[in-house]
A and B are shown apart, each in its own frame.
Chain A
Amino acid sequence: MIDNKNLGVISIIEEHLKDIKSLLAELEPLFNFKCFKFGGVRKQIEHFLETTSTLEEKANLTHTLIQGIIHSIHSSRKELKQSVDGLLKKTGDQLGKITATTEEATQKIMDEALKIESEQGIMVDKLEELRTATTPEDVNAKIEEIKGLVYGNQDSAFMIINYLQFQDITAQQIAGAYSLLSDTEKTLLYVSNLVKEFDMGDNTPDFLLQDLDKNAFNADAVFRDKADIQHVIDDIFNTGNTELDVPLDEVSVETKSFHANVPKSDDDTTNEDFDIDALFGANDDKANQDDIDKLFS
């Protein structure tokens, strides 16, 4: 008798098959005695042998299926890790750029609006001074000062129009963020499909976000004074020298990183460090609902 304690299911079945075959071989001489009716016993043993053989086949199939599931779980983990580490982080950076651009443009527009407001106050004072001007020279001087302020106002208004270019830039940045979300969605649907295929077949998933024409936007667009870059471009066009180095066009964007501890490599299969709560809002910077409730209780 063999010790089954450390054997796998398939090995046990194989051992049983071996045992039955040996038993059948040992019983073979008995089947030759015609006085006994061993034919039925023989048929039953052969049937048992056949059934046990299909059991081995089924066990092998189950083993393959489980291996497939394990492989899919590994692939899912890899895809999810890429989504969290790559696409979602990039989307976060992209949203950070949009906020930075909007902030920068709003500040510039506000500066110009405040300048207009302050100059209009000075203009009112100058108009008042006109009442007390006694000589034509005085009147002319005051009028010239007022005209200067009006022109200044016109320039400021035009600068505001000019700063509205930020809208085009944020529109391209938003298109970039949308595109990243669409890529993340595809990854997640792929992962979902990997799991689904075992019980529902390989259905083509319906993508919810529409694909954007990547030629229609520049996700790297930034809103800042480009004089340094423009000078180099001018030199390239004036001299035809294509060896000149163009400064990198970038703004520093502070983005808060995810706190989720995704295993660092494909080999690192432990998931003890994976903190799912961190992904779903257990963020240090945010009070949870319990804290808010305590404040209002």
Chain B
Amino acid sequence: MTDLKFLVVDDSPTMRRIVFNTLKRLGYNEIEEAEHGAEALDKLKTIDGINFVVTDWNMPVMDGLQLVQEIRGMAEYAKVPILMVTTRSVKDDIIEAMKAGVNNYIVKPFTPEVLKSKIDLILAK
């Protein structure tokens, strides 16, 4: 559990703090943050050991879907687990995210239990 290093990507500082605190409460201590997809890509390239990405969809500069597509196109990170946490709940969006390569999908507002269960599920696979 402790060797996981998360990258939390969300343009809302409040949401980043909530996800950050929830992960801490779940026992994960290594957490990096980015406020949009482009910053997330920079952090992935410059910070060693990021091995789990939790990302929002709607963000300025580069949105979450583009970020997922970029990550999946990078050989080094092609298999990094990605969990999308978003307000978008239309079926077409969910399927689009699935096709882009997200490992699981949570609709906001979420509960800590749901976040934990999705992380566990991804890690168990």
Residue of B nearest to A154 (CB): B25
Is A168 a contact partner of B95 (Cβ separation < 8 A)? Answer: no
Is B63 a contact partner of A218 (Cβ separation < 8 A)? Answer: no
Tell me, rounded to whole Å, the shortest Cβ–Cβ distance linking B25 to chain A.
7
Tell yes or no: A139 within 8 A of B by CB: no
Contact (A218, B12) CB under 8 Å given A165-B108, A230-B107, A245-B91? no
Residue of B nearest to A224 (CB): B109
Tell yes or no: B11 within 8 A of A by CB: yes
Contact with B along A197-219 (1 / 0, CB 8 A): 00000000000000001011110
List, in ascending order, chain A residues with CB within 8 A of B108's CB. 165, 168-169, 221, 226
Chain B binder among A156-164, A178-186, A289-297: A156-164
Tell yes or no: A236 within 8 A of B by CB: yes
List, in ascending order, chain A residues with CB within 8 A of B18's CB. 161-162, 164-165
A-B contacts counted at CB < 8 A amount to 92
Is B25 a contact partner of A218 (Cβ separation < 8 A)? Answer: no
Q: Report how far A244 CA is from B25 CA in the complex, Å.
A: 33
Q: Report how far A158 CA is from B10 CA in the complex, Å.
A: 20
Is A215 a contact partner of B63 (Cβ separation < 8 A)? Answer: yes
Q: Report how far A223 CA is from B109 CA in the complex, Å.
A: 6
List, in ascending order, chain B residues with CB within 8 A of A166's CB. 109
Contact (A167, B14) CB under 8 Å given A215-B60, A216-B59, A246-B89? yes
Q: Report how far A237 CA is from B104 CA in the complex, Å.
A: 7
Q: Report how far A164 CA is from B63 CA in the complex, Å.
A: 22
Q: Report how far A213 CA is from B91 CA in the complex, Å.
A: 23
Question: How many B residues touch A, CB cutoff 8 Å?
Answer: 33
Tell yes or no: B1 within 8 A of A by CB: no
Is B12 a contact partner of A171 (Cβ separation < 8 A)? Answer: yes
Is A162 a contact partner of B60 (Cβ separation < 8 A)? Answer: no
Max chain A C-beta neighbours (<10 A), residue from B25, B104, B108: B108
Is B12 a contact partner of A167 (Cβ separation < 8 A)? Answer: yes
Contact (A233, B60) CB under 8 Å given A161-B21, A165-B110, A226-B89? no
Tell me, rounded to whole Å, the shortest Cβ–Cβ distance linking A174 to chain B.
12
Tell me, rounded to whole Å, the shortest Cβ–Cβ distance linking B37 to chain A.
10
A-B contact pairs, 7 of them (CB 8 A): A158-B112, A162-B109, A162-B111, A167-B12, A215-B58, A233-B94, A237-B98
